[in-house]
Chains A and B, each alone.
Chain A
Amino acid sequence: MASFEFELTRNITIGQYLPTGSLIHRLDPRIKLLAFTILVIAMAICHTYVGNFIALAFACYLFYISRIPISYGLSGVKPAIPFILVLAVLQLLFYSEIASGGTVFVDYGFILITSDSIRLVIVSALRFIEIIFLSSVLTLSTSTTQITHGIESLLDPLKHVKFPVHEFALIITIAIRFVPTFAMEMEKMMKAQASRGAEFGTGAWWRIIQRTKDVFPIIIPLFNVAMARAEDLVLAMEARCYTPGSERSIYAKYKAKSTDYAALLFCILFAVLLLAFPFPY
């Protein structure tokens, strides 16, 4: 048993801002969000081995220039591994109709494994990792205030169709902001219940009901704590005269510089390359 058995916060990279003052940190948040969206779309569409390995290398390179240790990205991937594995198995077994092209390796009953379905599995796993890396770089290099302002000003045109842009941005900020807080609360709760004899994740996996019951002592108090926190937040906001729907000015004014445009252009070119270049594999 590792000595950090209960160190939940160790694996949570979302909502943690790591100020290193790098080039990426200094980019305009709107540009960063836009570039992020473009890259994620390109990665989600790109379906070649080579393309995805290049994209993964690119994501690692982003860690390098933002001076954030790559171990941060890896610890974000770790909790997703079971999910990636289950997805891989499901795709291998049930997606054969969609990806039935290429060489046939196994054709046994309903199981049909082809070079195309294997590609689908590997490429999906790579995509997953790329996108986790990319989101980690984004949230680790951008403070939540910046993210909110970015989202708010990017979505600004939607105001014309009565979309509650400001409220939407606020909800996202609060959600991101409280991820580490709840991880801390959950860590404390797990420790407190373990002190009373609770065990987590030790029962056999097929005893689903038992294992579900095991999490009640954490989930229920956590829910209470979340309610209490929400109430505190409402009080704090009202005490500072927050009025929903009223006109608000922004303290930070963003003005994109030439580096911002250069970075955006670079990301667009990279996305075009990923999508348009005829990679051999």
Chain B
Amino acid sequence: MSDNPILEVKNLQHIYMEKTPLEHQALTGVSLRVYDGECIAIIGHTGSGKSTLIQHFNGLMRPQRGEVIVDGHHLSDPKLDIKGLRRKVGLVFQNPEDQIFEKLIGDDIAYGPLKMGLPLKEVRDRVEWAMELVGLSFNELKDRVTYALSGGQKRKVALAGVLALKPKILVLDEPTAGLDPRSRQELLDNIVQLNKKENMTVIFVSHNMEEVAYLAERIYVLADGRNLIEGTPRDIFGNNETLAKHHIGAPQTVEILTKLKEQGYDVNLKSYEIEAATKEIVSVLQSYRR
């Protein structure tokens, strides 16, 4: 982890449809810092501005007020190399399977690299690399038609389409929403692998606290267009007062531990991980036996 953040947001504000009767302030002042190689979760209720925020990361939106700095480049700079930025920051939208448009899987994933003007050999290598990363066999699937895939597979194709740009920062908007449990777990494992093995910085939006606890090193909580609190899952999920005060959901492990504590058992609420929580419960059971 280096000292300079790879992505920094300072007091960012955004107003939709400014100067029309439908104007709506979606971001009222967000600040955050993400360091190289981190895995960050952004959580918050629907309408709190998460999607608006992340669209600033690859320049789909430019800061109206405030600053966004990606890898040393200011997004308000009119001379910014926007194509370069979009290669550096890969953004995977919510329900990304909707954006698949080619007939064959391989062609769809190759769209980004082809647009970059890479030689065909390099494009092919990247498609293979991206497909294998998300667990799709290149040889078997590259020439299959896209519309005959399951929902989970389609989402993987869409993810591979972004990965083929070889981004340094991967940003995902509710990546597992609407997936079946198995595809969900596979996708989560893909993300862990990208973060740990490929050293991609990952920023993801999620409503699922189990997922957040499983993946994130740090969490930012958004509400009404501003960030409320920031901290490690341990800090946030382990503090009942903060959770209650800001109406944040918690992983089920935390809920079980909280219930135990309410019943008078001596458990550590910060043990939100499955193994740690199991240990707490086992120790409760053992004290009961004695």
> Are B20 and A221 within 8 A (Cβ)?
no
> Are A195 and B83 within 8 A (Cβ)?
no
Complex interface: chain B residues within 8 A of A4 (CB): 18
CA distance A68 to B20 in the complex (A): 10
Is residue A216 within 8 Å, beta carbon to beta carbon, of the partner chain? yes
Complex interface: chain A residues within 8 A of B96 (CB): 192
User: Hey, what's the 0/1 contact readout for A185-199 against B, CB within 8 Å counting as 1?
Assistant: 000110111111111
> Are A191 and B19 within 8 A (Cβ)?
no
> Are A197 and B20 within 8 A (Cβ)?
no
Q: How far is the CB of A232 from chain B (nearest CB, A)?
A: 14
With most chain A CB atoms within 10 A of its CB, the pick from B55, B87, B115 is: B115
> Are A216 and B101 within 8 A (Cβ)?
yes
CA distance A216 to B112 in the complex (A): 14
> Are B86 and A1 within 8 A (Cβ)?
no
Complex interface: chain B residues within 8 A of A225 (CB): 98
Residues from 1 to 51 in A contacting B, C-beta threshold 8 Å? 1, 3-7, 9-10, 16, 18
Is residue B44 within 8 Å, beta carbon to beta carbon, of the partner chain? no
Q: How far is the CB of A64 from chain B (nearest CB, A)?
A: 15
Contacts known (A3-B62, A6-B60); A221 close to B17, Cβ less than 8 A? no
Complex interface: chain B residues within 8 A of A72 (CB): 20-21
Complex interface: chain A residues within 8 A of B19 (CB): 71
> Are A195 and B115 within 8 A (Cβ)?
no
Is residue B78 within 8 Å, beta carbon to beta carbon, of the partner chain? yes
Complex interface: chain A residues within 8 A of B18 (CB): 4
Residues from 54 to 100 in A contacting B, C-beta threshold 8 Å? 68-69, 71-72
CA distance A227 to B93 in the complex (A): 20
Q: How far is the CB of A85 from chain B (nearest CB, A)?
A: 25
Is residue A217 within 8 Å, beta carbon to beta carbon, of the partner chain? yes
> Are A18 and B21 within 8 A (Cβ)?
yes
Question: Chain A interface mostly helix, strand, loop or mixed?
Answer: helix
- What is the interface residue range for chain A against chain B? 20 to 34
Q: Pick the contact of A221: B99, B112, B116 (CB < 8 A).
A: B99
Complex interface: chain B residues within 8 A of A3 (CB): 61-64
> Are A196 and B60 within 8 A (Cβ)?
no
Is residue B16 within 8 Å, beta carbon to beta carbon, of the partner chain? yes
Complex interface: chain B residues within 8 A of A217 (CB): 99, 101, 111
> Are A188 and B93 within 8 A (Cβ)?
yes
Residues from 18 to 77 in B contacting A, C-beta threshold 8 Å? 18-22, 55, 58, 60-64
Is residue A258 within 8 Å, beta carbon to beta carbon, of the partner chain? no
Is residue B90 within 8 Å, beta carbon to beta carbon, of the partner chain? yes
> Are A194 and B111 within 8 A (Cβ)?
no
> Are B115 and A7 within 8 A (Cβ)?
no
Q: Pick the contact of A195: B16, B22, B91 (CB < 8 A).
A: B91
> Are B98 and A221 within 8 A (Cβ)?
yes
> Are B83 and A197 within 8 A (Cβ)?
yes
Complex interface: chain B residues within 8 A of A161 (CB): none
Contacts known (A71-B20, A217-B111); A194 close to B86, Cβ less than 8 A? yes
Question: Chain B interface mostly helix, strand, loop or mixed?
Answer: loop
Complex interface: chain A residues within 8 A of B98 (CB): 188-189, 192, 221, 224-225
Q: How far is the CB of A181 from chain B (nearest CB, A)?
A: 14
> Are B101 and A1 within 8 A (Cβ)?
no
Is residue A220 within 8 Å, beta carbon to beta carbon, of the partner chain? yes
Residues from 228 to 258 in A contacting B, C-beta threshold 8 Å? none
Give the nearest-CB partner of B58 in chain A: A195
Give the nearest-CB partner of A68 in chain B: B21
Complex interface: chain A residues within 8 A of B82 (CB): 1
CA distance A69 to B162 in the complex (A): 41
> Are B20 and A10 within 8 A (Cβ)?
yes
Is residue B223 within 8 Å, beta carbon to beta carbon, of the partner chain? no
Contacts known (A3-B64, A220-B101, A225-B98); A192 close to B112, Cβ less than 8 A? no
> Are B115 and A191 within 8 A (Cβ)?
no
Contacts known (A197-B115, A217-B101, A220-B101); A1 close to B93, Cβ less than 8 A? no
> Are A191 and B86 within 8 A (Cβ)?
no
Residues from 97 to 153 in A contacting B, C-beta threshold 8 Å? none
Contacts known (A69-B20, A72-B20); A192 close to B99, Cβ less than 8 A? yes
Contacts known (A191-B60, A221-B101); A196 close to B20, Cβ less than 8 A? no
Complex interface: chain B residues within 8 A of A194 (CB): 60, 86
Q: Pick the contact of B86: A6, A9, A195 (CB < 8 A).
A: A195
With most chain A CB atoms within 10 A of its CB, the pick from B18, B93, B99 is: B99
> Are B17 and A195 within 8 A (Cβ)?
no
Give the nearest-CB partner of A67 in chain B: B21
Contacts known (A188-B93, A198-B115); A193 close to B99, Cβ less than 8 A? yes
Q: How far is the CB of B34 from chain A (nearest CB, A)?
A: 18
CA distance A193 to B64 in the complex (A): 23
Complex interface: chain A residues within 8 A of B219 (CB): none
Q: How far is the CB of B185 from chain A (nearest CB, A)?
A: 25
Contacts known (A3-B63, A189-B98); A195 close to B90, Cβ less than 8 A? yes
20 A-B contacts, Cβ less than 8 Å apart?
A: A4-B18, A6-B61, A7-B16, A10-B20, A191-B60, A192-B96, A195-B86, A195-B92, A196-B86, A196-B162, A196-B165, A197-B83, A197-B111, A197-B116, A197-B165, A198-B111, A198-B115, A199-B83, A221-B99, A225-B98
What are the 9 tightest A-B residue pairs by CB atom distance, in nearest-first order?
Answer: A197-B115, A220-B101, A196-B112, A192-B99, A3-B62, A195-B91, A192-B93, A197-B112, A217-B101
